[in-house]
Amino acid sequence: MTVTDELLANAERYAASFDKGSLPLPPAKHVAVVACMDARLSPYGILGLSEGDAHVIRNAGGVITADELRSLAISQRLLGTTEIILIHHTDCGMLTFTDDEFKSAIERETGIRPPWAPEAFTDLDADVRQSIRRITEDPFIPIKTSIRGFVYEVETGKLREVR
Amino acid sequence: MTVTDELLANAERYAASFDKGSLPLPPAKHVAVVACMDARLSPYGILGLSEGDAHVIRNAGGVITADELRSLAISQRLLGTTEIILIHHTDCGMLTFTDDEFKSAIERETGIRPPWAPEAFTDLDADVRQSIRRITEDPFIPIKTSIRGFVYEVETGKLREVR
């Protein structure tokens, strides 16, 4: 029995008490959140989001790569979101290595160097700021009036805005 | 006052009753979930996940691009996850357009054709299967013994496995 099997039992319980079948496709709050995949960071918990409220985009670091720009373009152009919230967090795994180290370790093991940047960073606030700039400089995202970035503190549960 | 401001008030309430400050960095359940960003799909609700349990990776469609392979490689290699769960869903926005249409619409408006694939699809089950294959064929993800794909039914709350 895998953990996946355990989680599927939870999914059956979720379906058994499900009452949200009539929610519309576009997010009710017109917000897209981009956050780190970290297990301790729940955008639902932190921001008080419920099913139907917001697009939630996540990856290692909460960084902005081509795929997040794709998702944000689709979110705004097809589904009407107008505000973007970025969330990095303290004690992030991305602070524990360098891109060169990680790529070299993989190359030593597999004989192939990854063609992508791992996107490690050393300064949380600086990476939030440059992530925002990756969005503001993108030609395909139409609405840039509310793009705000935050650091979530996993130790305290607090969300701190990066200025 | 933006919606972001409203959500920040929720974040203050979350921090005020926060009691999870000692959770470790690696996900307790050793699972990484890749799901669509859709507002109606809450991986926490569906799978019964709590803070600390699992990596959650999300984008438009729940598709696998270079950035999801990056996140999964980091998840497994640095943070010890061993199982992968993919979740697409019914009534997905990605079923409502074609890549060519979306890119042409953006090109007409901005004068630039996006260099990325929008990743629209016409068959949910087929896209779950080919997404799994993008992972199984990737040379940088070491553990491929439990990669399972699902379609979440937004109308019923049920999670159906794709075989």
ipTM score of complex: 0.98
Using CB atoms within 10 Å of the CB of residue B134, give its burial: 0 to 12 exposed, 13 to 18 middle, 19+ buried: middle
- Whether A57 sits inside 8 A of B58 (CB atoms) is yes
Q: How far apart are CA A116 and CA B76, in angstroms?
A: 16
Which of B20, B45, B110 has its CB closest to that of A51?
Answer: B45
Mean pLDDT of chain B: 98
Q: How far apart are CA A26 and CA A117, in angstroms?
A: 32
Query: Per residue in B124-160, pLDDT tens?
Result: 999 999 999 999 999 999 999 999 999 999 999 999 9
Kindly state the average pLDDT of the residues B66-90: 98
DSSP H helical ranges for chain B? 3-16, 43-47, 66-79, 99-110, 124-136
Query: Which residue type does B146 have?
Result: S
Q: Give the residue carrying structure tokens 């260099």.
A: B115
- DSSP letter at B35? E
Q: Give the residue carrying structure tokens 């640095």.
A: B78
Residues B59/A135/A26/B42 CA torsion (nearest 10 deg): 40
In this prediction, residue A40 carries a pLDDT of 98
Give me Rg for the CA atoms of chain B. Answer: 18
Q: How far apart are CA A131 and CA B89, in angstroms?
A: 29
- Whether B96 sits inside 8 A of A78 (CB atoms) is yes
Q: Give the residue carrying structure tokens 């779950």.
A: B128
Q: In chain B, positions 72-131, which contact chain A (CB-CB < 8 Å)?
A: 73-75, 77-79, 83, 85, 91, 93-94, 96-97, 102, 105-106, 110, 112, 114-119
Which of A40, A56, A117 has its CB closest to that of B52?
Answer: A40
Nearest to A84 by CA among A66, A67, A65, A64: A64
Q: Residue A98 has which token pair?
A: 């360098």
* Partner A contacted by B14 (CB < 8 A): yes
In this prediction, residue B74 carries a pLDDT of 98
Q: How far apart are CA A93 and CA A120, in angstroms?
A: 8
The nearest alpha carbon in chain B to A158 belongs to B15
In this prediction, residue B58 carries a pLDDT of 99
**pTM recorded for the entire structure:** 0.98
Whole-number percent of chain A with pLDDT over 90: 99
| Digitized pLDDT (tens) for each residue of chain A, 163 residues in all | 999 999 999 999 999 999 999 999 999 999 999 999 999 999 999 999 999 999 999 999 999 999 999 999 999 999 999 999 999 999 999 999 999 999 999 999 999 999 999 999 999 999 999 999 999 999 999 999 999 999 999 999 999 999 9
Beta bridge partners of B35: B58, B87
In this prediction, residue B5 carries a pLDDT of 98
Query: Which residue type does B162 have?
Result: V
